Amino acid sequence: MPQLDFTIAFPQIFWLFLSFFLLYSIIVHVFLPIFVKSFKARKKLVIANNESFNHLQKQLHLKQTSLITLLNQNIIKIRTTFEKNILPTFTSDTTFDFDLINQKLAKVLYYNTLYCDLNVLDSIPLKPKFLNLRSFNDK
């Protein structure tokens, strides 16, 4: 079999191993350090971003909790002021229906946002009154 002849097969095998070894050494010594540096830089960047995100998230959580406590304190102050000062002027009995007030406030806010939308107001053509009047010289 001529394809397995030592004089034909040996040079092909030699050049195969030589080209493989050269290609392998170029990839390992030239391109692999570049890829490793890039992976390390990306890993450091991800770790730094995660740390900054966690720090910002902790700060946000602290600010939210302080804001919630401040809002709750102010709501309690407003409610006590309302119960002590404003409520006795409208009613003589000590009990008052806060659910009715909440419903009315919700209705007011709903209609306020529904009808005071800028897009709705811009779509209504409004003309000044002086354009509808005749001039004084026409009389």
Rounded CA gap, 75 and 87, in Å? 16
Mean per-residue pLDDT for 128-137? 54
Give the tens place of pLDDT for each residue, 31-83.
999 999 999 999 999 999 999 999 999 999 999 999 999 999 998 998 888 88
Give the N- to C-terminal CA distance of the chain in Å, as an integer.
124
Give the tens place of pLDDT for each residue, 8-33.
778 888 999 999 999 999 999 999 99
- Per-residue CA distances from 27 to 14, 17, 18 (Å): 20, 15, 14
pTM of the model: 0.44
**Predicted local distance difference test score (pLDDT) of residue 139:** 47
Instruction: Measure the CA angle with vertex 71, ends 86 and 82; round to 5°.
Output: 5
Token pair listed for 10: 């040996």
